[in-house]
Amino acid sequence: MKLDWKAVAPLALGAIIYFSPAPAGLEPIAWNYFALFVTVIAGLILEPIPAAAIGLIGVTFASAMMMVPAKAGAPVVLADGLKFALGGFSNGVVWLIFTAYMFSLGYEKTGLGKRVSLLLIKLLGKRTLGLGYAVAFADLAVAPFTPSNTARSGGIIFPILKNIPPLYGSTPESGRRKIGSYLMWTAMATTCVTSSMFLTALAPNLLAIDILQKTTKLTVDWTEWFVAMAPACILLFLLVPWLVYVIYPPEVKESADAPKWAGAELEKMGKITMPEIIMASLAIMALMLWIFGGKRFDATTVALMGLCLMILTRVITWEDVSGHKTAWNVLVWFATLVALAGGLANVGFLAWFAKAMAASMAGLSIGALIIGFVLIFYFVHYMFASLTAHTTALMPVMLATAMAVPDMPMKTLGLLLFGTLGLMGILTPYATGPSPIYYGCGYISRKEYWTLGAVFGVIFIAVFLGVTYPYLMFMGKV
């Protein structure tokens, strides 16, 4: 039987790390767990078996071998294993992703998604680039009021967007690069930019402000956040649809007859139907609660309420829910990744890594230290499957370490770290809530997603640092 190198390579890489001596200051349990984590990530990149299965094997192995304590420094007890393995399934973002697929199904079954898509094509469908900007501005319109990019992009944008490519003969199975791949990546990249642009566009932004206040006694309000982020984020926002068009070009660039055809298709559909009205009402209800109901309802609770109402109003059936293979597959995959990434904090690896990186920069100038802190904070997100977990685990460590540096401008550093939170969501297929949705839609291949994530990740951080740091200096923050 021929060995599959895609299966052997991750195991070999993990074994090399496991049998290498643990670095100074790092407990062997943390180093061994890191070896497992690298094995899983390598498996996700090469994907010898489905991603969900890789994640499930990873958490099961960690649980069975009692590798993860309840918190760093604590002894590992039997009860910790199962709690760790199933911990990701209690994560709200995981279920928010799942319900985003259900909203998408509702748009599809009622025909509302097709109707809205045809309207967009009728107005802007003459050029693919125009549709790209339509997607971007749709996200921007709700970003300041929706502190969950999963709800915003996964629950509002994606369910409508997925109906557009098939109208151009572009499906995950055939002709995905005609237009579908371009639109999906544009939507994903845009929501990362808008998540950094506004304080209220991403829940971890608010968490980061709270951590800054507790750690340094400094505060940042909504206006100060926007003024600091606007130059770089507005530039990136305007560039993203064009950059995707150049770097990841669609095969169909112009379709002069598309608006006329869309108009004719709308006439064939006739007047809006009752199921469409119900679906639109539920979508508007969810949007309003996401925007204004934050003090009463969690974003995931709102999504689950919408799902229940879709079933009760027969927009979708329970058979539709239970039979949605993609949604359940993504749920298992992302839940296990959330657990595995959280394990890095539990074994003490992340705190050790942040301190080691900070120590390695000793002797550098203040400017070099600031850039170093930001780059470490940004790229270490490859080890996280949650922006909230990343913020919780590393933001206090970064700020506390920086405070020990004489003359460190803490508000400048804080603003620069904060601005990366949304942008880093572009890096991997598990980097932020909408990532598994766009990765799982089938329009962007595994290799393309990892490659585009790296390319746009570098572009985003280069533009952000290149614009924001000098701008903050000019504004007197340094």
Tens of pLDDT along 461-478?
A: 999 999 999 999 887 654
pLDDT band at 188 (very low <50, low <70, confident <90, very high): very high
The backbone region for 403, taken as left when phi is positive above 0, alpha when psi lies in -120 to 50, beta otherwise, is alpha
Q: Indicate whether 210 pLDDT > 90.
A: no
Number of domains in the chain: 2
Rg (alpha carbons) of the chain, rounded to whole number = 23
Residue 290 lies in a domain: yes
Q: Is the pLDDT of residue 101 over 90?
A: no
- The one-letter amino acid code at 322 reads S
Q: Is residue 441 part of a domain?
A: no
Asked if residue 118 and residue 71 are part of one domain, the reply reads no
Distance of CA 387 to the CA centre of its chain: 8
Q: Is residue 318 domain-resident?
A: yes
Among 30, 63, 90, residue at a domain's last position: 90
**Domain housing 302:** 92-201+223-328
Q: Are 39 and 14 in contact (CB under 8 A)?
A: yes
Q: Does residue 61 share a domain with residue 109?
A: no
Same domain, 180 and 282: yes
Cα separation, 356 vs 362, in Å, equals 10
Residue 477 lies in a domain: no
Angstrom CA distances, 445 to 167, 169, 427, 448, stand at 21, 18, 15, 5
Same domain, 50 and 118: no
Over residues 74-90, the mean pLDDT reads 84
Calculate mean pLDDT across residues 432-453.
93
> Which has more confidence, 318 or 266?
318
- Pair (107, 171) in one structural domain: yes
> Residue 6: what pLDDT?
85
For the record, the structure tokens of 347 come out as 């074994």
Say if residue 109 is in the same domain as residue 243: yes
**CB–CB of 96/322 below 8 Å?**
no
d(CA 183, CA 127): 12
- 128 and 38 together in one domain: no
**Backbone dihedral angles phi then psi of residue 441, each to the nearest 5 degrees:** -75, -15
End-to-end CA separation in angstroms for the chain: 63
Is there a domain that residue 447 lies in?
no
CB 248, CB 448: distance < 8 Å: yes
pLDDT at 271: 92
pLDDT for position 13: 92
Reading the block at residue 286, the tokens are 């969810």
Q: Are 456 and 370 in contact (CB under 8 A)?
A: no
**Any domain includes 256:** yes
pLDDT at res. 424: 97
CB 110 within 8 A of CB 317: no
- Single out the residue in 38, 68, 90 at which a domain terminates: 90
Kindly indicate the confidence band of residue 2, based on its pLDDT and cuts at 50, 70 and 90: low
User: pLDDT-derived band of residue 381, with 50, 70 and 90 as boundaries?
Assistant: very high
Confidence band for 179, pLDDT divided at 50, 70 and 90: very high
79, part of any domain: yes
Integer Cα distance of 179 and 251 in angstroms? 6
pLDDT at 193: 97
Residue 153 shares a structural domain with residue 104: yes
One domain for residues 67 and 117: no
Q: Which two tokens stand for residue 94?
A: 């995981």
Structure-token match 């130059």, residue found: 231
Q: Is residue 188 part of a domain?
A: yes
Rounded CA-CA distance 460/193 in Å is 8
Indicate whether 126 pLDDT > 90: no
When comparing pLDDT for 258 and 231, which is higher?
Answer: 231
In this predicted model, which residue has the larger pLDDT, 222 or 321?
Answer: 321
- How much is the pLDDT for 477? 52
Q: Is the pLDDT of residue 125 over 90?
A: no
Q: Which of 59, 90, 121 is the last residue of a domain?
A: 90
Rounded Cα distance, 389 and 383, in Å: 10
Give the number of other Cβ atoms within 10 Å of residue 221's Cβ.
10
Q: Determine the pLDDT at residue 195.
A: 95
Q: What is the pLDDT of residue 411?
A: 92
- C-alpha to C-alpha distance for 117 and 177, rounded to whole angstroms: 18
Q: Are residues 250 and 297 in the same domain?
A: yes
For residues 5 and 150, state if they share a domain. no
Least confident piece of the model among 324-328, 413-417, 447-451: 324-328
The per-residue pLDDT for 417 is 96
pLDDT of residue 249: 95
Per-residue confidence (pLDDT) for residue 244, from 0 to 100: 97
Most confident of 4-13, 79-88, 372-381, 395-404: 372-381
- Same domain? For 238 and 300 the reply is yes
